[in-house]
Structure 1
Amino acid sequence: MATEYSSTLLNSYLFPLSQSQESGDGTPSDDQYFSDDEHGHSHFTRGGDTKQMKRYAEELLQHERSTIQVKPDDTVIITPHLPQLPNEILARIMHYVLKPGPGMYGRDNRQIDQQLDLCTCTLVNKQFYAIAYPLLWREPVLELGRTQLQRINDSLATKEAPPVGHYVRNLRLDNQICNDTELLRLMPHIPHLETLSIENDTDNYLPLMTSTSLQQLPHHCPHLTSLTLWRIDLSEAALRAIGHHCHQLTDIDFNLITDLQDDFLSALSHCPLKTIRLCHMGERILLTETLVLEMTKKDLTELHLTIYEPSGLIMKIANKHNKTTVVPCWPRLQVLNLECCDGIDDATFIAFIKTHPDLQVLRLDGANLTNASLDAMAVSLRGLHSVMFNNVNGISSGGVRRWIQNCPRLVFVEFQQCDQIVGRDVLLETDNDVLRGFLKLKKHDIFKIHRAQGTGNAHG
C-alpha cells in the first residue's frame, strides 16, 4: 500500500512536467517519465542537466522517505521506503492492547482477547512483529484443555534464535491442563520465568500437581520473583529447593492443604521476601511465635494471613520487638490483612500503627477495637486509603464519620457485621433499607462526608 501511494504521488508531480516539456510544434521533448517497475522503483529520464534533474526530484520528494540514484545514462531511480511509525507510538499501541478491561485486575492477568489482539499485531508488518511477538510470548494465555498446552510445549521445543521460551516471563497453570509430567516437560524451556501461579482443583479427579515437579522448578527457573501455589501439598524439600535457587523471590502466595513445620519460612531465608500471603485449607491453624519471628526477619510491604490464629500475635510480637530496637519490624509495611484478630485490642493496635505509619490498606476480622482506635488511625496513618473491618463491634457510626472526616486520603471503606454501624448516621443520604452493621463507602461517598464536615449531623 505504501509503495502504491508513493507511486501515485510521484505520478501527480511528474506527469505535468512531461506534458509541459513539449516543443513549440507540439511534439514531445526528450524528457520522459516511466512508471514503476516490478520492484517499486520510479524511473525518470531527461536529456538536460542531470544535477538540476536530481535537485528537482529531491524537492518533489521532500515529504517522502525515498532514495534517489542517478545512473550513467542519466536515468534517475527513486526508491520509496515504507514509512515507519516511531517506536514510541507502537509502544502506546501495545499499551492500549494490553490495557486491562472492566473486571480485570492486576498487570499479570492477561485475557484471551488481549492475546488474540497481540497476535493480530504481529501480522501488520515487520516492525509490529518485532515488538508484538516478544509480548505475545511474555505471558502465554492457556485456555482449558491440554491440547493447547501440548502445542505450546511443542513450540517451545523448536529450534529458534532466540528460543521462544526465553520470552516467557509470566505463566498461570492449573491442573485441568497441567500435571507433574507436563510441568517437568515445560520448565526447561522457560529459564527466565519471573511470575508463576499454579492451582490445583481438588474438586475433580485429575492428577494433582505435587512437590515431585515443584522440587525441580527452582533449578530450571531461578529468576522467579513471584510464586503462587494454591491447594498444593508443599513439601519441605520443595521449599528448600526454592530457597536455595530463587534468590530474587519477593512475593509468595501459599494456599496449603497440609501442615508444615512452624519454621518453614526459614527455608526461604535467602529470599528477599516483600509480600507474604498464607492461607490454610480446612481447619484453622495455630499461628506460633516461631512462624511470626521468621516473618519479622523480612522487610515486608504486604502481609496477609487467612485461617491462622491468633493473628493478634503478629502485633503483640511486633510491639515487643519495637520496645527493644529503634527500627520497627516492618518499617515499609503498606498492606495488612488479618483474620482471627480476637486478641487485638485498642492498646495493642494503637501501639502497632504508631510504629508502622506507612500502612495504606488495612483489613481486620474480629478485632476488639473502639472509636479510640479510629481516632488513633486518623493521627498515625495519614496515607491510609482503604479499610475493611469485619465483626468489629466496638466502633460507632459517629466515630466512623469523625474518623473519615479526619482522613483526607481515604477512597474505600467497608464494614460488615459491625453491630453499632448505622449507614444513614454515617452517610446521611444512605438508603434506610441498608442492613444495620453493613456499610460500603466509595470515593464519591467519602467526598460527601468530607464536604459536609462540621455540619454536626453525625450521631454518636
Structure 2
Amino acid sequence: MKDYAEELLQHERSTIQVKPDDTVIITPHLQQLPNEILAHIIHYVPEPEHPYGPDRRIACEQLDLCECTLVNKQFYAIAYPLLWREPVLDRDPTQLQRMIDYLATTKEPPMGHYVRTLDLDNITCNDTELLRLMTHIPHLETLSLGNGNDDHLPPITSTSLQHLPHHCSHLTSLTLRRIHLSEATICAIGQHCHQLMELVFSITTGLQDDFLSALSNCPLKRIRICQTDERILTEKLVTDMTRFQDLTELNLSIFEPSGLIMKIANKKNNTEGVPCWPRLKVLKLRCCDDIDDATFICFIKTHPHLQLLRLVGANLTNASLDAMAVSLRGLRKIWFTRVHGITAGGVRRWIQNCQGLAFVMFRHCHQIVKRDILETCKDEPRGCLILKEQDIFKIRHDQETGNVHG
C-alpha cells in the first residue's frame, strides 16, 4: 500500500507514513509559490463587490486579508502591507486612537508607510487625532475626510487640516465633506500637493471664487463641487478653471447658473483657437437654465471626447441632439432633466445616429413619451425615459428593418 501511495505522489513533496493497522497518513508539503504569483492572488481578496466602487474597502474584505496573514510567513509578508494599504475603521471612536498608538510604537517596518487610502469622519477622528495621525502616513494618496450631521460631535476643522498637505504631500485624491475651508488650508494644498489630480468639495463652507488660483501647481484632472453655501461660480473661478488643461471630469452640483462654464470656454476657443479642456470626458452641471442650443453646440464642437453628460434645466431642442450625433462620437451615457425643448422624434433620430450610446435617461422632459420611441417598452410617466443598451439596440434594429413606430 505504501508503494502504491508513493507511486501516486511521486511528483509531490509529501511525507507518507503507514501505521501498524495499515492506515496510510499522507502529509503534503506545499511548494512555495513565487512571491509575484502569490501577490496577484492575494490582491483579489479585497476586490469590492459592492456599490461603493473599486477604491473603497469594507470591513469584511479587511477581515479576509487578516485571515491571509495567518496562513504562513510568505502569506504574512505579502498580505500585511496590503492590509495596511487601506485601513478600515468602524464606528468605535477608540479604534483610531489604538491605531495611532500602534503606528507610533512600530519602528521596523513603519506600518504607516504602507497606508495609501483613508476614509475618516468626526465620529472616528478629531483634530487632535488627525494631527497625530498625519505624521505617520507620509505616503497617503487618497483621503476622504468629513463631518457628519451630528451637531453634538466636535467637527474636524482647518486647525488640523491646514497641516495635512505638509505631511501628506503625495495626495492624488482629496475629498472634503462639510468642512469649513480656511484660506491657509487651500494655500497649503496648492503649495505641497503637486500630485493632486482629484478634488471633491461637498457641502463645504469658506470657499471663495479665487480658491482655484491657489491650486495652480496641482495637476487637477477631476473637479467636483457640491452644494456650497456661497455663490462661487464667477468669471474669476471659471477662468481659473480653464488653466487645468488635463481636466477630464467637471462636476458642479451647485445651486447657481452654470452656463458661464460653456460661455467662457466658447469665448476662449474663439479668441485663442484652442479648446479649454481638450481631454474632457465627463461633464455634469446642475443649473443649466442659461444654456441654449447655440451655447451648447459651440461647446461640444470643441470638446468631442465627452463620454458622459448630465444637464439639468438646459434650454435645448432637437438641434442639440442632432449636433451631439455629429460631434460626440464617443458619447456613452447621458442624463437630461427638465429639458423641455426636445421631442420623442428627435430622441429616436439621435439614438439611431449616435452609435456609441449605452445608457439614456430623460426625466421631467415634457415632450417625451417613451412609447413613441420604443413601442414595446413598459409604461412610464410622461416625460420620463430610461433606455439601457438592449433598448437602444432595439431602436436601431427597428430603423434598419423599417419597423419604425410613429
Same fold by TM-score greater than 0.5: yes
The C-alpha deviation readout for 1:138-181, integer Å capped at 9, x for no partner, is 00111112122122112211223220100000000011111111
Counterpart for residue 189 of structure 1 = 136
d(CA) in 2 for partners of 1:81, 1:94: 20
Equivalent residue letter for 1:322: N
Counterpart for residue 287 of structure 1 = 233
The C-alpha deviation readout for 1:185-232, integer Å capped at 9, x for no partner, is 111110000000001113331000000000110111010000000111
For residues 94 and 13 of structure 1, do their structure 2 counterparts lie closer, same or farther at Cα, with a shift above 3 Å needed? closer
Aligned ranges 1:435-454 → 2 under 5 Å: 435-454=381-400
Aligned ranges 1:107-146 → 2 under 5 Å: 107-146=54-93
Which is further off, 402-411 or 239-248? 402-411
The C-alpha deviation readout for 1:399-450, integer Å capped at 9, x for no partner, is 1111111122211111111111111112222222x11111111222222222
User: Based on CA coordinates, which of the two structures has the bigger radius of gyration?
Assistant: 1
Aligned ranges 1:168-183 → 2 under 5 Å: 168-183=115-130
SS in 2 for 1:189: coil
Aligned ranges 1:7-406 → 2 under 5 Å: 12-13=5-6, 63-64=11-12, 82-101=30-49, 103-282=50-229, 285-299=231-245, 300-406=247-353
Displacement after TM superposition at 1:398 (Å): 1.2
The C-alpha deviation readout for 1:365-394, integer Å capped at 9, x for no partner, is 110000110111111111110100011100
d(CA) in 2 for partners of 1:293, 1:426: 40
Equivalent residue letter for 1:63: H
d(CA) in 1 for partners of 2:104, 2:119: 19
Displacement after TM superposition at 1:258 (Å): 2.3
Displacement after TM superposition at 1:81 (Å): 6.6
The C-alpha deviation readout for 1:16-59, integer Å capped at 9, x for no partner, is xxxxxxxxxxxxxxxxxxxxxxxxxxxxxxxxxxxxxxxxxxxx
d(CA) in 2 for partners of 1:260, 1:147: 32
Equivalent residue letter for 2:48: P
For residues 422 and 95 of structure 1, do their structure 2 counterparts lie closer, same or farther at Cα, with a shift above 3 Å needed? farther
SS in 2 for 1:356: coil
Equivalent residue letter for 2:386: K
d(CA) in 2 for partners of 1:273, 1:9: 68
Equivalent residue letter for 1:396: T
Number of corresponding residues: 391
Equivalent residue letter for 1:229: L
The C-alpha deviation readout for 1:288-310, integer Å capped at 9, x for no partner, is 00000000000211001111522
d(CA) in 1 for partners of 2:2, 2:132: 55
Equivalent residue letter for 2:276: C
SS in 2 for 1:115: helix
Residue pair 1:286, 1:310 contacting (<8 A) in 2 also = no
d(CA) in 1 for partners of 2:4, 2:118: 53
Residue pair 1:122, 1:132 contacting (<8 A) in 2 also = yes
Residue pair 1:292, 1:314 contacting (<8 A) in 2 also = yes
SS in 1 for 2:128: helix
Residue 416 of structure 1 pairs with residue 359 of structure 2: no
d(CA) in 1 for partners of 2:2, 2:140: 49
For residues 9 and 273 of structure 1, do their structure 2 counterparts lie closer, same or farther at Cα, with a shift above 3 Å needed? farther
SS in 1 for 2:44: helix
Residue pair 1:199, 1:230 contacting (<8 A) in 2 also = yes
Counterpart for residue 25 of structure 2 = none
Counterpart for residue 36 of structure 1 = none
Which ranges in structure 1 are unaligned for 5 or more consecutive residues? 1-7, 15-59, 67-79
d(CA) in 1 for partners of 2:373, 2:2: 69
Displacement after TM superposition at 1:280 (Å): 2.7
Which ranges in structure 2 are unaligned for 5 or more consecutive residues? 15-27
Residue pair 2:281, 2:305 contacting (<8 A) in 1 also = yes
SS in 2 for 1:97: coil
d(CA) in 2 for partners of 1:282, 1:326: 35
For residues 437 and 282 of structure 1, do their structure 2 counterparts lie closer, same or farther at Cα, with a shift above 3 Å needed? farther
For residues 340 and 82 of structure 1, do their structure 2 counterparts lie closer, same or farther at Cα, with a shift above 3 Å needed? same
The C-alpha deviation readout for 1:91-145, integer Å capped at 9, x for no partner, is 44324322221x4232211111111111111111122112211111100111112
SS in 2 for 1:440: strand
